[in-house]
Amino acid sequence: MPELPEVETIRTALESYIVGKNIERVTVSLPRLVKNVSVLTFQQKTQGCTILGIRRRGKYLTLLLSGSVHVMIHLRMTGRLLYMDRLPAMTDHIHIYFRLNKGFLVYHDVRTFGGFWLVPITGMTGIDGYDSLGPDGNSPKFTATYLYRLVQKRKSTIKAVLLDQKVVAGLGNIYVDEALFLAKIRPDEKANVLSLHACKVLHEAINQVLTQGISHGGTTIRDYVNGIGKKGSHQHFLQVYGKEGSPCPRCGHTIQYIKLGGRGTHFCPLCQRRKGR
């Protein structure tokens, strides 16, 4: 699933291509991807609007429109949001597309877990997963003190806490594993044993891995490409994620892989020791 750096990279790639464009027609070939209104309503409320901007919060993208609603999008596992000059000949996995006055904004999804919502331009969206989001992992509201106060109340593992979008928005498996490695904290450590110092180190690590991920255009493991179809390069800079059996880049010990809360998890058992510091 695209995480904060990937979704941010998609946003910035699309911005110069779609902002200021008019939506002439909306085609939906898989109606269940439109989550909170009928396809007809979705089309009627968006056709004729101008795209004024594109915003990201957590893993959600929002098309800011000139009408009475905005369009919120979540890519889930394999969704791609792409600008194209013209539609390809083969459109098997293109389920929604916006015909613009110049070009197309296309939603491509092999596994079809993504979603589109119409939301009011002000106030609550009515989308549980969005309205309850915590601060972005790279926002000024996400501080070491905020993190420390939250982990003191949690008996779950620190990885589970960081994956909870109500705690911090935008983090997923890749960047959590990378941040915990950088901070030398085991992913299966209980969150409430972490000291304020450990949370400061972890907070700095989270900011660092997110910044690096964005600067490298995101991580392409399988499906991810940015808004114009370009792969990211951060996969070449990963320290532990997907590196099971390889030597730790810090100490040389073997990187291990475990299942933690149903999620594949990578860490160095020597560098990342138990107990909060």
Report which secondary-structure segment, H or E, holds 28. strand 23-28
Count of CA atoms in the C-beta half-sphere (13 A) of 139: 19
In the DSSP assignment, the letter for residue 225 is -
The annotation status of 154 as a binding-site residue, yes or no, is yes
Among 3.30.1490.20, 2.10.50.10, 3.40.50.300, 3.20.190.10, name the CATH number for the domain at 4-131.
Answer: 3.20.190.10
Q: What is the DSSP string of 226-276?
A: -TTS----GGGG-SSTT-TTSBPTTT-PBPEEEEETTEEEEE-TTTSBSS-
93 known ligand binder: yes
List the beta bridge partners of residue 94: 108
Residue 52 has what pLDDT? 98
pLDDT of residue 20 exceeding 60: yes
Whether 174 and 3 have beta carbons less than 8 Å apart is answered as yes
127-141 pLDDT tens trace: 889 999 999 999 999
pLDDT tens-digit map of 151-170: 999 999 999 999 999 999 99
pLDDT at 160: 98
Secondary structure E strands in 85-165: 94-100, 104-109, 115-120
How is residue 7 written in tokens? 């979704």
- Band of pLDDT at residue 264, cut at 50, 70 and 90: very high
Model confidence at 276, pLDDT cuts 50, 70, 90, reads very low
d(CA 18, CA 234) in angstroms, rounded, equals: 26
What are residue 265's DSSP bridge partners?
Answer: 258
23: closest CA among 53, 42, 49?
A: 49
Maximum Cα–Cα distance across the chain: 59
* Nearest in space to 60 (alpha carbons), one of 144, 1, 120, 122: 1
pLDDT tens profile 241-252: 999 999 999 999
Write out the two tokens for 139.
Answer: 């926002």
Q: What percent of the chain has pLDDT over 70?
A: 99
Closest to 65 measured CA to CA, from 34, 98, 110: 98
Domain boundaries, the chain: 4-131, 144-267
Give the contacts of 157 (CB within 8 A, at least 6 positions apart). Answer: 187, 188, 189, 190, 191, 260, 261
Q: What is the pLDDT of residue 277?
A: 47
Prediction pTM value = 0.96
Residue 150 has pLDDT above 50, yes or no: yes
Question: What's the mean pLDDT in 195-220?
Answer: 98
Beta bridge partners of 153: none
- The mean pLDDT of the chain is 96
Side chain identity at residue 147, one-letter code = L
Per-residue model confidence as pLDDT tens digits over 52-109: 999 999 999 999 999 999 999 999 999 999 999 999 988 889 999 999 999 999 999 9
Is the separation of the CB atoms in 75 and 60 below 8 Å? no
* Catalytic residue numbers, as ranges: 2-3, 59, 263
* Section 20-48 average pLDDT: 98
Question: Under a CB-based contact definition with an 8 Å cutoff, are residues 242 and 255 in contact?
Answer: no
Burial call 77-105: b when 16+ CB within 10 Å, e when fewer: ebbbbbbbeeeeeeeebbbbbbbbeebbb
Instruction: Give domain 144-267's CATH number out of 2.30.29.30, 1.25.40.10, 1.10.8.50, 3.30.1240.10.
Output: 1.10.8.50
CA distances to 22, 66, 156, 163 from 188, rounded to whole Å, are 49, 47, 9, 13
Question: The dihedral of CA 89, 114, 26, 32: what is its sign?
Answer: positive
Backbone angles phi, psi at 119, to 5 degrees: -130, 150
For residues 18-44, average pLDDT: 98
